[in-house]
Structure 1
Amino acid sequence: MTTLTVTCPVTGSHIGDVPAHSPAATRDAFSRARLAQQSWSTTPVSQRKQIMLRLHDLLLERQAEFLDIIQDETGKNRGSAFDEVLDVAVTARHYAHAAPRLLRPRQVRGAVPLLTRTHVERAPVGVVGIIAPWNYPLSLALSDAIPALLAGNAVVLKPDEKTPFTALLAADLLAEAGLPDDVLQVLTGTGPVVGDTIARECDYLMFTGSTAVGRELGAIAGQRLIGFSAELGGKNPLIVLPSADVARTARGAVAACFANSGQLCISIERIYVHRDIADDFIPAFVEATEAMRIGPGHEWSTDMGSLISPEHRLQVEELVSDALSRGATLLTGGRALDELGPAFYSPTILTDVPTDAHLFGEETFGPVVALTIVDSVDEAVARANESPYGLNASVWGDVAEARRVASRLKVGTVNINEGFAAAWASLDAPMGGWGQSGVGRRHGDSGLLKYTEARTVAVQRGVALSGSSGVPRERYAQVVSTALRYGRALLR
């Protein structure tokens, strides 16, 4: 079997090699997963719950080990790596407690009161395929696998080839927590080989990544008539209202734009600031950005690490250069930080970005934000809604006014006086995108129930709904019609 080499983006040093699984090896993993899933699906939900609660405890106990490998593979700062540990631990706890309620058979109103007793059952779909990205190699792998496993499914997971060791370590931890063999399998390899095979073999497909790849995988899922959920790209807006607290908003905008080096589907890439507050906000935001501590290492004091690779840094550089060449103005940043390493780029604020610049509408996925001054709240909302993406938005200012603005934005989540974390961390609420930002939802009840099939079981007592064999069909129709009219009148 051929192998893939994994390198540290901060130093370019060799981390290790992993197998590049073939289509045949991937199909073999599905065969094992289907056998394991038969037994796992009969395991009481209470036992599945205890496994996930043990995962919660083990992850917190061994977090330093995970923080190190996440940083080594991604180059992100330690605080951003901890966000992943926290997210997975909280997700495990949330769904461990929610699963018994969500999976319990639920009685619903029957066709005829007293005579029809109807229940809805939830059965696992089978084997869930998860294709996870590099930017959050723990969170966006395990936080999707946890509800799928709790629902009684097996999972075949492909991590990104740049960040496989985080997912492999997570699989070991789940095994230590008590998950049976082959119920979760991590298959390393490339997207065109392992990812494509997963899409053609699984019973439900979960994908996080680019809109372009999401369309390709969605087409495969559509041809196969299997469930498909995807969180895709974003060009997320932040609106600064005249009522915003300048200092708080400037600090919040830094976190919203540059957390995880801007490599976050829900991070902010566009800011619309009302003219009444622009002269105060813009210099405060620039000052807060320039005060960021950027660098390598495992210290907690660093605010931002590197990008995922020199190649990705080059893509970000090209988008910024293109915008500047077309007339954009650089307020701060805009340069590679070679003195720190081959994949570091400075947090960058641009203004006056013209509409013909690629950065204007394309997702940058880096530490770059375009700032625009607007003359009214209506203009800010209209500009925010211009994008075909609709993943996340942020509104800063008086809460009552901000809530009114939030209800006008065409996005899946809106954070008021926060960038993205408040909505993301609200695990009881659905998380996902509108438009080209995705289909389906993670989090909330639907984040687990999407990995199940609904089965309706109805028990009929006494008279059959089709009528008694001793009653003429015309007479039966008259009686039923009269009953329906009488019932409607009673409910007026």
Structure 2
Amino acid sequence: MTREQLTAAGSRPAWVTDEVVARWCRWVARHGAAEPEPVTAFAPFDLSPTATVPACAPEDVASAVAGAREAQRAWATTSAAHRREIALAFHDLLLRRQEQVLDLIQWETGKARYHAWQEVAQVAAIARHYARRARHYLAPRRVRGMVPGLTKVREVRVPKGVVGVISPWNYPLYLGVGDVLPALLAGNAVVSKADSQTALTLLWARDLMAEAGLPDDLWRVVTGSGSVVGTAVVDAVDFVCFTGSTATGRTVAERAARRLVGASLELGGKNPLIVREDADVTAAAAGTAVAAFANTGQMCVHVERVYVHERVHDAFRDELVRVTRALRLGRTYDYSSDIGSLVSPAQLAAVEAHVDDAVGKGARVVVGGRARPDVGPLFYEPTILEGVTPDMAVFAEETFGPVISLYPYAADGDPVALANLGTYGLSASIWSRDSREAHRLAGRIRSGSVNINDGAAAAAGSVEAGMGGMGDSGLGRRHGAEGIRKYTDSQTIAAQRLLPLGPSPKSSAGGFVRRTNQQLALLRRLGVR
């Protein structure tokens, strides 16, 4: 450890005192008589306990949603300017206090500090973007009515009510807060289910939002197991925003559908990267290492499958190996480490199982392939595999760790067909000097986003464009217009004037039909709609 903030006993930042944790925990929505076993996570850097957080029962969720619903009625009448001021105040506080949340994110997840900082940068961008653009995205829209000139129609957007946000541990600030901000700016209240591993980061953010001026009941946080508390959230709110595994996403979608409640789901991925013959091999190797090993490979958009044209395969592989070997593993609270820890013993076991299964069936480890307990209990080396075949688990299953498989493709082969293997469709990458051909290939890839000459960050960081998956990678989009409009319903307000729609009391139905048919034919000739 390199920071004076760290205690001699372990990885806990010294400024995170019991009194500070108690202040954050006041944001946990605890109202019922039942007192479930409190939640205690373990710090990945040394497996010491972090801090105990109270857990919620289903009745706490129900009470939180009821309180949020009451607060939302008043919030929906506030001006867009007032909401914008709060979002921008949060933005400014986040940047000023970022050292605190960087410590927390690292303590709870074990990621490298630079990757923790990326969460801060992304949330700041989202806050700024929606603060400035929410009014435009949600502006009423005038449309032509049934009878031009006589029917006046306006389409408006109204908030859903109470939005449930269920976020994972791998990006506790970005995914925990980035989806909350547009929901609030659209006029909703929010009930967030904090992941048990990273509850402190979310509670810190909630405390900061209160300082920015957000009313207390408008954003409630519940804690506890996903099967109990998460289910209670899905069963109580008016819209669900879920990020997590495909298996759990299916369950969330089924429960929401039974209530006719909408859901946005960002789920798993087995993301491909294509290196064409004309690619800049040095740049492609550097970009692949970032896309594969950032956040220790624990991100839904990270690359796991790399398809390389056979004519540049060896040169690319050698450069990728060089770049990968240069990455610095470490559990430091500064920017001296490139790769952090995996988050839990279960995650380490899953990574080891994929690599061991592949090697046992004939795959070759090009670099890495082993745990590093000398660095920390949950560290695993960035790993490149060759010779992976369909009978190996790593071939099609999401690893969610620092492991990629390298595949050569023939000169007459179709890399897009390889990229489209499987049922996922979240993110993809193409490296080529031929921009036109790269864009043509991108249009054929079944994926929510395709990055050209970048691994994943170009699309994910462009907050004016939607981000989400196809196939087993989910439904809906975050970011951009859809990232805020999904939290609203479209309402049509139509006003009729002068003449009624239909026969007047003085005319027959037959006469009305003849005249209307003549008007329809005229509109067709004039090219109107």
Letter in 2 for 1:408: R
Q: Which residue of 1 aligns with 2:453?
A: 417
Q: Which residue of 2 aligns with 1:169?
A: 204
C-alpha deviation, 1:378, in angstroms: 4.5
Q: How does 1:211-226 map to 2 (within 5 A)?
A: 211-226=246-261
C-alpha deviation, 1:25, in angstroms: 1.1
Whether 1:447 aligns to 2:483 is yes
Whether 1:203 aligns to 2:241 is no
Whether 1:472 aligns to 2:508 is yes
User: Does the 8 A contact of 2:311 with 2:411 survive in 1?
Assistant: no
Q: Which residue of 2 aligns with 1:460?
A: 496
Whether 1:49 aligns to 2:84 is yes
User: Does the 8 A contact of 1:309 with 1:342 survive in 2?
Assistant: no
User: Does the 8 A contact of 2:281 with 2:316 survive in 1?
Assistant: yes
Q: How does 1:310-349 map to 2 (within 5 A)?
A: 310-349=345-384
Q: Where does the alignment leave 5 or more consecutive residues of structure 1 unmatched?
A: none
C-alpha deviation, 1:459, in angstroms: 0.7
Q: Deviations over 1:434-489 (max 9, x none)?
A: 00000111111011011011110011111112132212111111111111111111
Measure, in 1, the Cα distance between the counterparts of 2:96 and 2:109. 22
- SS of 1:155's partner is strand
C-alpha deviation, 1:205, in angstroms: 0.4
Measure, in 2, the Cα distance between the counterparts of 1:103 and 1:372. 45
Measure, in 2, the Cα distance between the counterparts of 1:286 and 1:387. 27
Choose from 137, 143, 157 the match for 2:178: 143
Measure, in 1, the Cα distance between the counterparts of 2:138 and 2:486. 12
Measure, in 2, the Cα distance between the counterparts of 1:486 and 1:153. 45
C-alpha deviation, 1:377, in angstroms: 6.8
C-alpha deviation, 1:311, in angstroms: 1.9
Please identify runs of 4+ aligned residues in structure 1 that moved more than 2 A.
376-379
Letter in 2 for 1:393: A
User: Does the 8 A contact of 1:156 with 1:186 survive in 2?
Assistant: yes
Whether 1:79 aligns to 2:90 is no
Q: Which residue of 2 aligns with 1:405?
A: 441
- SS of 1:113's partner is coil
Whether 1:291 aligns to 2:331 is no
Measure, in 1, the Cα distance between the counterparts of 2:364 and 2:296. 21
Choose from 401, 405, 419 the match for 1:384: 419
Choose from 211, 215, 228 the match for 1:180: 215
Measure, in 1, the Cα distance between the counterparts of 2:403 and 2:232. 35
Letter in 2 for 1:253: T
Choose from 155, 179, 183 the match for 2:190: 155
Q: Which residue of 2 aligns with 1:254?
A: 289
Letter in 2 for 1:287: R
Letter in 2 for 1:424: A
Q: Which residue of 1 aligns with 2:279?
A: 244
RMSD: 1.0
- SS of 2:235's partner is helix
Measure, in 2, the Cα distance between the counterparts of 1:291 and 1:436. 35
Whether 1:100 aligns to 2:118 is no
C-alpha deviation, 1:102, in angstroms: 2.2
Choose from 460, 468, 474 the match for 1:438: 474
Letter in 1 for 2:278: S
Q: How many residues align?
A: 492
Q: Which residue of 2 aligns with 1:16?
A: 51
- SS of 1:276's partner is coil
- SS of 1:371's partner is strand
Measure, in 1, the Cα distance between the counterparts of 2:430 and 2:504. 62
Higher mean C-alpha displacement, 103-112 vs 364-373: 103-112
TM-score, normalising length from structure 2? 0.92
Identity %, equivalent residues: 48
User: Does the 8 A contact of 1:241 with 1:377 survive in 2?
Assistant: no
Measure, in 1, the Cα distance between the counterparts of 2:186 and 2:226. 26
- SS of 2:264's partner is strand
Q: Which residue of 2 aligns with 1:60?
A: 95
C-alpha deviation, 1:379, in angstroms: 2.4
Choose from 70, 75, 82 the match for 1:40: 75
- SS of 2:223's partner is coil
User: Does the 8 A contact of 1:56 with 1:92 survive in 2?
Assistant: yes
Q: Which residue of 1 aligns with 2:525?
A: 489
User: Does the 8 A contact of 1:77 with 1:302 survive in 2?
Assistant: yes
C-alpha deviation, 1:221, in angstroms: 0.5
User: Does the 8 A contact of 1:274 with 1:377 survive in 2?
Assistant: no
- SS of 2:421's partner is coil
Letter in 2 for 1:335: R
Change (3 A) 1:377 1:207: farther
- SS of 1:201's partner is coil
Whether 1:132 aligns to 2:173 is no
Measure, in 2, the Cα distance between the counterparts of 1:452 and 1:6. 35
Change (3 A) 1:377 1:176: farther
Q: How does 1:21-32 map to 2 (within 5 A)?
A: 21-32=56-67
Letter in 1 for 2:191: V
C-alpha deviation, 1:290, in angstroms: 0.7
Letter in 2 for 1:124: P
Q: Deviations over 1:120-162 (max 9, x none)?
A: 1111111000110000000001000000000111100011101
Whether 1:426 aligns to 2:462 is yes
Q: Which residue of 2 aligns with 1:393?
A: 428
